[in-house]
Amino acid sequence: MSLQEPTSQFDAEELATSFADYISSSDWDGLRESLTGVPIAEIGDAFLELDKHDRALAFHAFPRDIAAEVFAYLDSDQANRLLENLTDEDTRDLLANLRPDDRTQLLEELPGQVTQRLLNLLSPDDLKETRHLLGYPEESVGRLMTPDYVALRPEWTIRQALDHIRKMGVDSEIISIVYITTKKWELIDALPLRKLILADLDDTVESLMDHSFVSLSAFDDREEAVRALARYDKVALPVVDSGGVLLGIVTVDDVLDVAEEEATEDFHKGAAISPLDRSYAETPSITLFKKRIGWLLILIGVNLVSSGVIAAYEETLEAVIALAFFIPLLIDSGGNTGAQSATIMVRALATGDLKLTDWFKAVLKEAGVGMSLGLAMGLASSALGIFRGGIMIGIIVGLSMAAIVLVANMVGTLLPFLLTRFKIDPAVASSPLITTIADASGLFIYFGIATAFLRAGFIAGPEEVSTLIDCATMTAAEAFSCEDAAYLLECTDEGLLVECSAE
């Protein structure tokens, strides 16, 4: 059974065409009627298909509530361009119909001059509310929350509570959960609406309370809201200040937007790219260049370490040229292993599965995994080494592979913890960075082991093997090569890949 993408009965291009037809014939009533039953996301996609002139006309014709929801669907650049075509009166109506959290998000993303103009168009109450939300740190829960919720008093009867919900729920962003507060607005419980509906009308709200609720601080990072909503399987969570006073709520629709932004940001960082501030389609080429060139230049600098390691072991490489055959195999394997462990650690830290204090437990676990991986990959690569270069080359390659995989696995495990400890996003422990570090350490391990074998006499350099091969008994082709080059690769009866020095 194959999985398929969910399909919609509405096609954005067809909707956009029908919108354009209504606009060209000035059939505004028909345009408004065509919106019936169409999800906001589909209306938003169709709206973006229209040209600049038709967008402004369509937006004027949309009912106010739909216009506000479509506007909230746009990204900051699209919203800014649309605002340029609206009168102050249209903009004032639009801002008044936006939810407080959507309004705050819009104002913090627009250019400063545009934000100032919009603030001047807000009503005194909306301006006070918006400035309050903007007063919290960027990317904090306070910027996400909305003050549109329903609060009840514990001493009220269920009848009073339901009457209050009917009255205040019209402007609330969510009424499936209601919040119980004291007269000083201190949060003391959160109840699902279902409990109130099923309770006796003469019971008090307090009789339903169990004082079991989860809340967020307005100063928490917005990623904490993502984790909390997912962990407790809630559609909304209350936001309180340091004194426990209820300030607002964070809803799942706002958190889903945050989760998408954070995931995109981590994907970019994981590929050594500075996160994009807008969609790819709207990002100019020069911005893409700037976002990518910085990390690439840094990685060039780190890669100089690898070339330095090769230069330091030049004599070893000249002595046994067959070692060069296995460099790509070994360093690529180390890079892949390190990238795997780093990805696992970054994700575990992001989801809360691991905490910073769990680093030692993770290191012990990954040490066992790394040794197992190293043993398996070492055996496989040693067989290849024996086939290509003889028994001793196979042993060197196998030992090097085991050590490289273990070290790379440890680097990939520890680096995200170190970055988190120093308040750096662990997503920068990216595949390119880990691979570059693994390259340098892998070359050092490989040539270190090979040099030790060479000095111990387990493998022979060109001076020793020149006496094993008599150039006079070579074939014509072999003699030509021996005279033409500094040394020649040749196989002895024992099957060892050796070198013949030119006479």
Domains in the chain, ordered, with CATH?
A: 12-135 (1.25.60.10), 151-266 (3.10.580.10), 306-459 (1.10.357.20)
pLDDT score recorded for residue 397: 93
Amino acid at 167: K
Q: Give CA–CA dist 286/267, Å, rounded.
A: 20
pTM over 0.85: no
| Percentage, residues of the chain above pLDDT 70 | 83
pLDDT band at residue 502 under the 50/70/90 scheme: very low
Provide the angle, in degrees to the nearest 10, between the axes of the packed helices 76-83 and 112-121: 60
Q: Looking at 3-12, 181-190, 199-208, 209-218, which range is the least confident one?
A: 3-12
Euclidean distance between CA atoms 400 and 292, whole angstroms? 33
User: Where residue 119 falls among pLDDT bands split at 50, 70, 90?
Assistant: low
Please answer whether residues 183 and 170 qualify as being in contact, where contact means their C-beta atoms are separated by less than 8 angstroms. Answer: no
Q: Which residue has the higher pLDDT, 359 or 128?
A: 359
| pLDDT for the residue numbered 426 | 77
The answer to whether residues 471 and 500 touch, using CB atoms and an 8 Å cutoff, is yes
- Please give the pLDDT value at position 387: 86
Mean pLDDT on 300-307:
80
Higher pLDDT pick, 77 / 69: 69
Of 54-58, 353-357, 493-497, the one with minimum mean pLDDT is 493-497
Q: Of 51-65, 336-350, 368-382, give the lowest mean pLDDT range.
A: 51-65
> Residue 219 is inside which H or E element, if any?
none
Is 201's pLDDT higher than 70? yes
Q: What are phi and psi of 424, to 5 degrees?
A: -110, 140
| Pair 136, 108: CB distance under 8 Å | no
Per-residue model confidence (pLDDT) at position 272:
62
Q: Which residue has the tokens 């960075």?
A: 433
Instruction: Return d(Cα 177, Cα 453) in angstroms, integer.
Output: 71
Looking at residue 360, its pLDDT comes to 93
Q: What is the pLDDT of residue 314?
A: 83
pLDDT in tens, 412-461: 999 889 888 888 777 765 667 788 888 889 999 999 999 999 888 777 65
DSSP 471: G
Cα–Cα nearest to 19, from 10, 11, 30, 8: 30
pLDDT (average), residues 279-286: 79
Q: Of the given ranges (74-83, 122-131, 240-249, 419-428), which has the lowest mean pLDDT?
A: 122-131
Residue 198 pLDDT more than 90? yes
Token couple for 28: 């505004």
* 59: CB partners within 8 A, 6+ apart: 47, 67, 70, 71, 82, 86, 90
| Phi, psi at 435, each rounded to 5° | -60, -40
Task: Please tell me the number of Cα atoms within 13 Å of 257 on its side-chain side.
Answer: 14
- Phi/psi at 189 (5° precision): -170, 165
Q: What is the pLDDT of residue 10?
A: 64
Do 463 and 499 meet the contact criterion of CB atoms below 8 Å apart?
Answer: no
Task: Tell me the range of 143-147, 381-385, 496-500 where mean pLDDT is highest.
Answer: 381-385
Q: Residue 451: count other Cβ atoms within 10 Å of its Cβ.
A: 19
Residue 213 predicted with pLDDT over 80 = yes
Structure-model confidence comparison of residues 374 and 435, the more confident one = 374
For 269-300, give the secondary structure using H, E and C: HHCCCCCCCCCHHHCCHHHHHHHHHHHHHHHH
> Predicted confidence band at 500 (pLDDT cuts at 50, 70, 90)?
very low
Q: How far apart are CA 359 and CA 367, in angstroms?
A: 12
> Is 484 a residue whose pLDDT tops 80?
no
Range ranked top by mean pLDDT from 25-29, 43-47, 134-138, 192-196: 192-196
Confirm if 130 and 119 have CB atoms less than 8 A apart. Answer: yes
Mean per-residue pLDDT over the chain, rounded: 80
Q: Any idea of the CA torsion for 22, 27, 28, 29, to the nearest 10 degrees?
A: -110
Average pLDDT estimate for 126-131 = 70
Please state, in angstroms and rounded to a whole number, the distance separating the CA atoms of residues 278 and 302.
30
Q: Per-residue confidence at 376, pLDDT binned at 50, 70, 90?
A: very high
The pLDDT score that the predictor gives to residue 127 is 66
255's tokens: 């958190």
Which residue is associated with the tokens 């960082």? 269
Contact 331, 445 (CB under 8 A): no
CB distance 310 to 323 below 8 Å: no
Residues 6+ positions from 204 with CB-CB distance below 8 Å: 154, 155, 156, 157, 158
pLDDT of 229 strictly over 60: yes
SS3 label, residue 245: strand
Q: What is the pLDDT of residue 429?
A: 56
The pLDDT tens digits of the residues spanning 315-334 come to: 888 778 888 889 999 998 99
Of 327 and 79, the structure prediction assigns the larger pLDDT to 327
